[in-house]
């Protein structure tokens, strides 16, 4: 392990798991050795779970990433970078991270306004359909009913 460990990508789950595979190769350890080293570091990492994790392209759980990175021998500050990258992938990038500052000021208020308009329209439409805006007095004065007369 004379070279630096691979850095975690924060783009997508497939790239993240591929980087975990490179990290295992960098460590030079077997799955059983990783299990033992994780236990020594205070984590739980069954060798079969580590193998399954690296065989899939899904984002692993946070505790599993922490155990795996610690078992591979990554320092604490570098290990935090792996957890941060995992969190970024799991939560998605915030929309403003991909926009310029000028567009961000324009886009966010309009997006919030559009969402508010849709929500209010849906609420008022539902309340109107349920008859929340008609009073019983109107029905009594006009002698009308919401039900058709029986024959």
Same domain, 59 and 114: no
The per-residue pLDDT of the chain, averaged, comes to 81
pTM of the model: 0.60
Q: What is the largest CA-CA distance in the chain?
A: 93
Interatomic CA distance for residues 74 and 85, integer angstroms: 15
The highest-confidence range among 64-73, 91-100, 112-121, 136-145, by mean pLDDT, is 64-73
Same domain, 87 and 123: no
> What does the DSSP assignment read for 22-36?
HHHHHHT--HHHHHH
Same domain, 43 and 79: yes
Same domain, 58 and 124: no
pLDDT digits (tens, 9 = 90+) for 76-97: 888 999 999 999 999 886 555 5
Answer whether residue 137 shows pLDDT above 60.
Answer: no
Q: Residue 61 maps to which CATH number?
A: 1.10.260
How much is the pLDDT for 146? Answer: 60
Domain of residue 73: give its range.
13-91
In a domain, 59, yes or no: yes
How many domains is the chain built from?
2
Same domain, 59 and 124: no
Interatomic CA distance for residues 130 and 144, integer angstroms: 17
Same domain, 35 and 65: yes
Same domain, 80 and 41: yes
In a domain, 149, yes or no: no
Mean pLDDT lowest for which of 36-40, 69-73, 83-87, 95-99?
A: 95-99
> What does the DSSP assignment read for 32-75?
HHHHHHHHHTT----HHHHHHHHHS-SPPPHHHHHHHHHHHT--
In a domain, 6, yes or no: no
Same domain, 68 and 123: no
Same domain, 85 and 115: no
In a domain, 77, yes or no: yes
| Residue 13 near residue 65 (C-beta atoms within 8 A) | no
């Amino acid at each position: 392990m004379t070279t630096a460990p691979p850095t975690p990508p924060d783009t997508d789950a497939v790239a993240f798991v591929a980087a975990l595979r490179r990290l295992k190769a960098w460590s030079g350890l077997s799955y059983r050795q990783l299990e033992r080293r994780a236990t020594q570091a205070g984590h739980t990492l069954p060798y079969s779970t580590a193998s399954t994790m690296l065989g899939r392209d899904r984002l692993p759980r946070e505790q599993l990433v922490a155990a795996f990175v610690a078992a591979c021998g990554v320092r604490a500050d570098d290990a935090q970078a792996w957890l941060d990258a995992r969190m970024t992938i799991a939560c998605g990038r915030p929309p403003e991270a991909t926009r310029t500052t000028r567009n961000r000021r324009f886009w966010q208020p309009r997006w919030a306004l559009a969402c508010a308009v849709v929500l209010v329209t849906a609420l008022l439409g539902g309340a109107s359909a349920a008859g929340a805006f008609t009073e019983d007095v109107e029905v009594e004065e006009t002698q009308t009913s919401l039900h058709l007369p029986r024959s």
